[in-house]
Amino acid sequence: MYYGLSQAQIDLQKRARRIATTLIAPNAAEVDRNEQYPWGNVNALRDAGFMGMTIPKRYGGSGLSFLDAAVVIEEMAKVCGVTGRIAVEANMGAISAVMQYGTEEQRRLAAELVLGGDKPAICITEPEAGSAASEMTTRADKRGNQYVINGKKHWITGGGVSRFHLIFARVFDQSGGECGIGGFIAIRDEDPGLEVGEREPTMGLRGIPETEIMFNDLVIDKSRVLLPPSGFRRGFGELMNAYNAQRVGAGTVALGLAAGAYEHGRDYTLEREQFGRPIAEFQGLQWMLADMSTQLEAARLMIYSAARSRGANDSPFPDANAAAQSKLFASEMAIKVTNDALQLFGAKGYSRNAPLERIVRDARMFTIGGGTAQILRTVIATRLLDRKFPQTRDGYSNLSSSSVVKKPNLKAI
State the residues that interact with ligand FAD by CB under 6 A. Answer: 122-125, 130-131, 155-157, 205, 210, 365, 368-370, 372, 374-375, 378, 391
CA angle 312, 316, 320 (to 5 degrees): 50
133 versus 280: smaller Cβ distance to ligand FAD: 133
Helix (H, G, I), strand (E, B) or coil at 305: helix
| Closer residue to ligand FAD, CB minimum distance, 274 or 374 | 374
Nearer to ligand FAD, 59 or 329 (CB): 329
User: Quick one: which of 116, 136, 124 has its CA closest to 93?
Assistant: 124
Residue nearest to ligand FAD as judged by C-beta position: 130
Q: How far is the CB of 210 from ligand FAD (least distance, A)?
A: 5
The nearest distance, CB 59 to ligand FAD, in angstroms, is 23
Closer by beta carbon to ligand FAD, 60 or else 197: 197
Residue 141 CB, nearest approach to ligand FAD (Å)? 21
Q: Are strands 164-172 and 139-143 parallel, antiparallel or unpaired?
A: parallel
Compute CA distances 237 → 97, 101, 240, 315, 378, whole Å.
12, 13, 5, 12, 16
Within 10 angstroms of residue 34's Cβ, the number of other Cβ atoms is 12
- CA dist list (Å): 146 to 65, 78, 218: 35, 44, 10
Distance CA 74, CA 66 (A): 12
Q: Are 321 and 383 in contact (CB under 8 A)?
A: yes
| 126 vs 340, beta carbon nearer ligand FAD | 126
CA torsion 300→304→306→311, rounded to 10°? 180
Which residues, including other chains, have CB under 8 Å from residue 182's CB and lie 6 or more apart?
140, 168, 169, 171, 225, 226, 227, 232, 235, 236
CB-wise, 1 or 413, nearer to ligand FAD?
A: 413
Helix, coil or strand: residue 325: helix
Using the minimum distance from each CB to ligand FAD, give the nearer residue, 210 or 344: 210
3-state secondary structure of 322: helix
CA dihedral 281, 284, 290, 291 (to 10 degrees): -160
In terms of CB distance, is 293 or 378 closer to ligand FAD? 378
- Cα–Cα distance, 255 to 250 (Å, whole number): 9
Of 49 and 160, nearer to ligand FAD (C-beta) is: 160
Q: For residues 395 and 393, what is the distance between their CA atoms, to the nearest angstrom?
A: 6
Backbone φ and ψ of 398, nearest 5°: 55, 35
